[in-house]
Amino acid sequence: MLRSAIWELGRAWQVPRHVVAGSKGISQSVSHGSLRHASSAQSARASPPRKHQHLEPDSDGLSNKNNRSDRNDLRLWLAADKQREESTPDLPSWTDPTPLRRGTERRLGMKKSWTTLSPSYLLESLLVKDHPDDGVRRNAAMIRSFRLPVVLMQIRLRQEAEADPENNSEILELLPSEKQWQKVMDIVYENGHTKESLDHYLYILLGANDEERCRRFLEQDTLKPLFILSFLLRTGSAIRNVATLNGLLRYYRDRSCSTPKQDGTDSAFGRETQMTRSRLAMLNMAPDEFSRLMSRFADHCRRLEPRLLTTLADIVAHRIRWHQQSSDHPTKIYHVQCDLFNSALGALANRSGLATRHKQAPNAYFWESQRILLGMSDQLAKPLLVDKAGFKAIRAVLAGLPKNQAEIHSAMRHSQTWPPYLRPGDGMDEKMEPDEAWTRTVRAGTMMQEAGFSKDQNDEALDVLQGLAYDGTPAIQQRTPVNIKKRLRVWAASIKATRNAQEAWGRFQHPPEKWQKPGLAEYAAMFEKLVARDADPAVSSVPGNNSLNFPVLQEANLAEFEKARLRAPSVNELYEQMKLNGILPSGQCLRILVANAESLQTAHRYLMQSTMPRHQWLSLLSNNPDPEALGEVPLNLFAAYISVCARDTEQPRRKMVRAMRLIEIRFEREPRLWAPYLWEPILKNLGQHHVSLGISLGEQLQLVMHLVRRIQESHGFPLSLFHQFSRCLKRILRREAVALLADTKLEDSATKNPLGLLYDRDAREVQAVAQDHLVCEPPTSDDSEDDSPLTLVRRAAGCLKELFGELVAEEKKRQALLGSNEVSRLDSMLLRRDPVSAPIVHDYMLSLAFAGEFEEMARVVKWLMLEWGKGSLIEELEALDEVPYEADMLDTLCVFRAFAEPMLEQATADSVLDVLNRSMVGWTWPDDELVQGYLNGRVEDEANKDLSEVLKWVRQHQQRRRRQSRDRAIADVDERLGNKEHN
């Protein structure tokens, strides 16, 4: 890259030989990543250097002097420069070496060392912040450069200074003089820009927020400088709309594979402008620019919509094929293609900022993105070479995929002892070689070795996690997200690749090498196994799919003493052992300890005894935390502390309010995408009994609704928070259903319970008619009728239904943007952002049942039948040996039959069966026996049976009321007839 830059400089401007030699000398000491391509948009120069001038590098340095005397000296120097400009017009000082750069940097032509004074930093500081610092504005005004970002910043500063000269006198002094500025604008115009184009660039950059800037960027289908697109895609960009990101991807695709010709014209702004060489350099997308933008697009896709990574992969594949159009330097083109190919594999496998926000990461789309690139490579005349980083990226994605049929079969064959050797299940297994049972990730590692790349410690650890121990014996394959930039340890991986805490403890006591001592990674892996929940026997799962403890058979001939010796220690015992060995908790180990602490006091002890800086953990413990110190706390540790605060049983209301306040303070610094990660434990624990919170039922519902509105207004309401909200409302109403069932045994108490009206539609209609006949009075400030528990429950249920509709509508828009791909229909269904998977929709249906929203339950069941009844999806499900838990809707149908069907009109209930019969979904309609078995299910679902009894009482009460109404009507008719006969 540096050689091409020197060649460009020498060809265009005839740089003196001593400058070129100096630059070559720099290339031996400066890292490759720290150099900029000479053909970038920001480094173009329009005219060759004149006599007595030095070539200005493509970045401008500024002094790091910040005191007032230094600024006064600088203003004096700038004033003297302006005087020299007026007195010697033939020798302009605009391109003289600026004294604001250090001597060594100026002599060698290096860029400045203060990145905080770079044009990109100044541009972000001026535009993103509502009130930019005066120092930033001064620094931007003092720069002397022809670079377009600098020119645009100074145009804006000049406009502000001319609009308010009294308060911007210092800025006017620091800006270039009128004569200097005219020369700058002449050069900018010679480079192919017009006043209209500059105004349009400023119009884009001066948008109120990033979403508005992107909208302005996409308004006109014209070429824009690449630095604007790079600015819109910066790391801290707050793009919130998936359609906006998709529009930028379309622009990226169109621009990446089309090059303006030097003899062409651009009529973007109403008149033709000659495509000068400098303007071409600013508009053309060099390979390094394309790679940098690709990496930023990948980051935003993971943040907003990971399924768009397949679109990004298509763009990269199109770009690689586009490079073949050039017949010059085929070897160089092939190297560029291979470099871009491997960079894309790594960018699509990177999981930075994803795992903590998505409980079910879209690994299928990660693999589909890489598969698009691999398929494109196979179609080329000369397939591209995969380097070691590319193999690592492929293995990292494969490690996160669900087990395929062969891997599930191998997992079921593991013996109950350790090592878990594979037992033959049939005659075919008897004939298999050991390597035929290897997982896809292990086989990819073997291919990497065959390609000539040796395995390092990370590769060995990944093999252990994927079922092949370091000594060649089998291990338990783990479906775990792997960060290609994170260092793994073989010993810690062997602890994780087990089925339960006892097996993990055995691996903990047997290191790969006898001399090894456990470190933080090993203790963290062991703590993770100790705090894991036991697997639910009712849910079919194989070891390694999730972080659960699976039981294994115990040796029958072991003495009790031996069993106690082999038993894993408790968390406290292992923690004391770790401290005795001189290891203090930090990082992942500290997060696991805090998140699973027994109490808030225990969590405080972990924090105070950790390697965490004192001012950081003090900010967590303080009632008035310092926002700066709180923002320095790692986000995963902060979320763990919020979780333990929310579930603490001692003064829970006070702890809950404190946790909410900490989140509000932290969100002043964090972007909205972390909202589910922090608010979920709050919503989860708000569902506890209102007595334990020290508030009434109405106040509890009001608090939940206030929190939901607050999250919805400021951060949006994603699927994970919707699921937590439905579970929270379900927990609250379950207790009320139990209390209502107790009141049914006392006839008077049941009829007086206002929540009974939730399930009695006839009583609600009678109440509404009675209220209509009342004389309307103006509302008063102390009227609390709207805040009654019944009204609040209805309001919460209405909010839940609205959120459901919004998620469904948003997913439809996303599906339209995604287009077609080769991801299986089942995977695409399970990775949708609406409540279509079985666990989420089951909880939603239960919430509706407890809230008495039976008509909505019928609409949801019809919608599910239409979504799951598509032909290709049905074929995939029928080909499976067992339907996945996420696609099993039997419990959801049982909820409808147990609660909604008896309360609906016969026509509505029959319409649901009609949709089932017309669709191809093939679900089994549960009979009465299955429904009763569902109601008599697990202990935690005991309230379901109570609700069924309440609804039965409501139906009996309705029938009795209808008989009484009918008897009264008959009596009235008989009375009228008797009166007529009497008359």
- Token pair listed for 231: 């600015």
Q: Where does residue 372 rank: exposed (0-12), middle (13-18), buried (19+ CB within 10 A)?
A: buried
Q: Give the Cβ contact number of residue 689 at 10 Å.
A: 12
Across 261-265, 300-304, 788-792, least confident range: 261-265
Q: What is the largest CA-CA distance in the chain?
A: 130
Across 278-282, 299-303, 554-558, least confident range: 278-282
Across 161-170, 846-855, 857-866, least confident range: 161-170
- Best mean pLDDT range from 186-200, 551-565, 930-944: 186-200
- Token pair listed for 807: 């998620």
Q: What is the model's pLDDT at position 294?
A: 95
Contact 885, 839 (CB under 8 A): yes
**Which amino acid is present at 971?**
A
Torsion of CA 155, 156, 158, 162, to 10 degrees: 140
Across 157-171, 198-212, 349-363, 519-533, least confident range: 349-363
| Alpha helix stretches (DSSP H) within 14-67 | 17-27
The alpha carbon dihedral of 711, 712, 718, 724 has a sign of positive
List, as one string, the DSSP characters of 200-232: HHHHHHT-SSHHHHHHHHTTS-S---HHHHHHH
Contact 682, 666 (CB under 8 A): no
Query: Is the pLDDT score of 779 beyond 80?
Result: no
Can you tell me the mean pLDDT for 346-357?
Answer: 69
> Cα separation of 296 and 289, whole Å?
11
Tokens 């310092």 — which residue?
626
- Token pair listed for 760: 């009695």
For the stretch 80-135, pLDDT in tens is 555 555 554 433 343 343 444 444 434 444 444 444 567 777 888 887 776 777 88
Query: Is the pLDDT score of 553 beyond 80?
Result: no
Q: How far is CA 671 from CA 79, 239, 697, in A?
A: 43, 10, 33
Can you tell me the mean pLDDT for 9-21?
Answer: 33
Q: Strand, helix or coil at 342? A: helix
**What's the number of CA atoms in the CB half-sphere (13 Å) around residue 502?**
17
160: confidence class by pLDDT, cuts 50, 70, 90: confident
Angle between helices 330-349 and 388-400 (to 10 degrees): 30
3-class secondary structure per residue, 467-503: CECCCCCECCCCCCCCCCCCCCCHHHHHHHCCCCHHH
Do the bridges between strand 548-549 and strand 533-534 make them parallel or antiparallel, or are there none, so unpaired? parallel
| Alpha helix stretches (DSSP H) within 178-329 | 178-190, 195-205, 210-217, 226-232, 242-256, 277-283, 287-304, 309-322
> Cα separation of 753 and 744, whole Å?
9
> Cα separation of 740 and 753, whole Å?
7
> What does the domain layout of the chain look like in residue ranges?
51-191, 725-769+788-959
Task: Give the contacts of 203 (CB within 8 A, at least 6 positions apart).
Answer: 216
Query: Is the pLDDT score of 267 beyond 50?
Result: no
Q: How far is CA 729 from the centre of its chain?
A: 25
Query: Is the pLDDT score of 367 beyond 70?
Result: yes
- Percentage with pLDDT > 70 across the chain: 78
Tokens 């159009």 — which residue?
325
> Cα separation of 865 and 858, whole Å?
11
31: confidence class by pLDDT, cuts 50, 70, 90: very low
> Cα separation of 57 and 45, whole Å?
10
> Cα separation of 899 and 903, whole Å?
7
> Cα separation of 214 and 241, whole Å?
10
Query: Is the pLDDT score of 983 beyond 80?
Result: no
762: confidence class by pLDDT, cuts 50, 70, 90: low
- Token pair listed for 216: 């302005």
262: confidence class by pLDDT, cuts 50, 70, 90: very low
8: confidence class by pLDDT, cuts 50, 70, 90: very low
Task: Give the contacts of 112 (CB within 8 A, at least 6 positions apart).
Answer: 59, 60, 61, 62, 101, 105, 118
Query: Is the pLDDT score of 263 beyond 80?
Result: no
> Cα separation of 867 and 865, whole Å?
6
- Token pair listed for 180: 């200097």
Q: How far is CA 419 from CA 224, 499, 568, 920, in A?
A: 61, 11, 17, 46
Average pLDDT of every residue of the chain:
80
Tokens 């400058």 — which residue?
19
Can you tell me the mean pLDDT for 848-876?
Answer: 92
- Find residue 474's DSSP bridge partners: 468
Contact 689, 735 (CB under 8 A): yes
Helix (H) / strand (E) containing 346? helix 330-349
Can you tell me the mean pLDDT for 956-983?
Answer: 72
Q: Give the Cβ contact number of residue 588 at 10 Å.
A: 20
C-alpha angle 594/596/597, rounded to 5°?
65
- Find residue 549's DSSP bridge partners: 534
464: confidence class by pLDDT, cuts 50, 70, 90: very high
Q: What are phi and psi of 190, to 5 degrees?
A: -65, -25
Task: Give the contacts of 511 (CB within 8 A, at least 6 positions apart).
Answer: 491, 517, 518
For the stretch 577-591, pLDDT in tens is 999 999 999 999 999
Contact 626, 666 (CB under 8 A): no
- Best mean pLDDT range from 263-277, 448-462, 623-637, 759-773: 448-462
Q: Where does residue 937 rank: exposed (0-12), middle (13-18), buried (19+ CB within 10 A)?
A: middle
Can you tell me the mean pLDDT for 393-408?
Answer: 90
Q: What is the model's pLDDT at position 981?
A: 66
Contact 721, 679 (CB under 8 A): yes
Q: Give the Cβ contact number of residue 895 at 10 Å.
A: 28
Tokens 């996409």 — which residue?
218
Which has the higher per-residue pLDDT, 59 or 634? 634
Nearest to 914 by CA among 965, 861, 961: 861
Q: What are phi and psi of 101, to 5 degrees?
A: -105, 145
Contact 379, 510 (CB under 8 A): no
Nearest to 590 by CA among 547, 528, 637: 637
For the stretch 414-460, pLDDT in tens is 888 888 888 887 777 777 887 888 999 999 999 999 999 999 999 99
For the stretch 297-318, pLDDT in tens is 999 998 888 999 999 999 999 9
**Which amino acid is present at 714?**
S
750: confidence class by pLDDT, cuts 50, 70, 90: low
3-class secondary structure per residue, 640-661: HHHHHHHHCCCCHHHHHHHHHH
> Cα separation of 400 and 360, whole Å?
10
69: confidence class by pLDDT, cuts 50, 70, 90: low
For the stretch 659-702, pLDDT in tens is 999 998 888 766 566 777 789 999 999 998 888 888 899 999 99
For the stretch 40-58, pLDDT in tens is 333 333 333 333 333 333 3
Query: Is the pLDDT score of 345 beyond 70?
Result: yes
Contact 737, 950 (CB under 8 A): yes
List, as one string, the DSSP characters of 678-720: HHHHHHHHTTS-HHHHTS-HHHHHHHHHHHHHHHHHHT---HH
> Cα separation of 143 and 721, whole Å?
48
**Which amino acid is present at 427?**
G
DSSP class of 940: G
- Find residue 654's DSSP bridge partners: none
> Cα separation of 394 and 387, whole Å?
11
C-alpha angle 237/240/246, rounded to 5°?
95
